[in-house]
Amino acid sequence: MLMQVLTFGLGLVALIAGAEAMVRGASRLAASWGISPLVVGLTVVAFGTSAPEMAVSVGAALSGSSDLAIGNVVGSNIANVLLILGISALIAPLLVHEQIIRQEIPIMIGASLLVVVMALDGGIGRVEAALLFVLVIAYTVYLVVQSRRASQAVEDEFASEIPTSSWDRHWGVQTALVLGGLGLLVFGADWLVGAAVVFARHFGVSDLVIGLTVVAVGTSMPEIATSLIAALRGQRDIAVGNVIGSNIFNLLAVLGAAGMVSTGGLDVPEAARNFDLWVMLAVAFACLPILFTGREIARWEGAVFLGYYAAYTLYLVLAAQQHDSLPAYSGVMLSYVMPLTVVTLAVSFLRRRPAG
């Protein structure tokens, strides 16, 4: 077991280092080819931080662990919004760029709803997975076309996401970073998935729960680092854009690729269909108040997000242990906590709404 812990840790380090190397190399290559900073910021950077999720879910699908592949994506999307945006908003209220409000958040909600609908019959087939992957390609092409009409202010904003160091200016170094990063991602995913499966079997915990918690947070480390650094530097809209872009990539590209390489598609466990997928959808809709209450995620809203993530994690732990207090805990959450949050958000909406 000690060896598995070491393997898990090495896999996590390799995933984070690989994602960092690949994002840096790909960003510089894109800039060298004249690709818009807007496209680089919303695709290469946001999608690149989701590379660990891609590596882990595809690796899990190839090894027949559909539960881990599904749990990793669903858990990562929940953690991205509740954990990462929650912590980032506590550091500083998050100002959100208008394009993210009007375009990326609705796309994330639509992608979440599509995945939930696909999974209701118990699985995401290879044709459905291919559709998801086609959609992420179409989304990226749309961003490229849209970027040509972007204002200089938007270009300058996302240009801050591209590294400006001198040591990696040559295309050979940039290519080596991309290839080296991909190699680390492959090895890291293999080590992490293998150790996670051993953990699940040793402790009697399902692959789904391991994917929703340990693996999901582990593969979200690049998003956590990127968003926290952006919040500390005052690039607060970038902190949000990174999370929303990563969630879109997870749903369309990661699940799409994992479903296509898996024989017969991805089986979605009943527990995920009954609870976790709906939590993911609710979390996506939780970003909607931003559309109506202004371009800011306040500190108190960040605290609410963090509180919900803690409550969700506790629910998973109690459910995994079949704890006697689970029914009472679920009742309190459904009967008191969630309605209170809805009322609080409604009051916030009415207070922020412009007069007249």
Q: What is the pLDDT of residue 112?
A: 96
Q: What is the pLDDT of residue 356?
A: 46
Taking the C-alpha atoms of residue 42 and residue 335, their distance in angstroms, rounded to an integer, is 38
**Residue 161: closest CA among 77, 49, 86:** 49
**Where do the domains of the chain lie?**
2-352
Q: What is the pLDDT of residue 337?
A: 61
In order along its 356 residues, the chain shows pLDDT tens digits of: 778 888 888 888 887 787 777 767 776 776 676 666 556 666 766 777 777 888 889 988 998 888 989 999 999 999 988 998 888 888 887 777 677 778 888 999 999 999 999 999 999 999 999 999 999 999 988 887 776 665 555 555 555 555 556 676 777 887 888 788 878 877 887 787 778 777 777 777 788 888 888 788 877 777 777 677 767 766 666 667 778 888 999 999 999 999 999 988 899 999 899 889 998 998 888 887 665 555 677 788 888 888 889 888 888 888 877 778 878 877 776 665 666 666 665 655 555 555 44
Q: What is the pLDDT of residue 236?
A: 61
pTM of this structure: 0.79
Classify domain 2-352 by CATH number: 1.20.1420.30
Q: What is the pLDDT of residue 224?
A: 76
Q: What is the pLDDT of residue 335?
A: 66
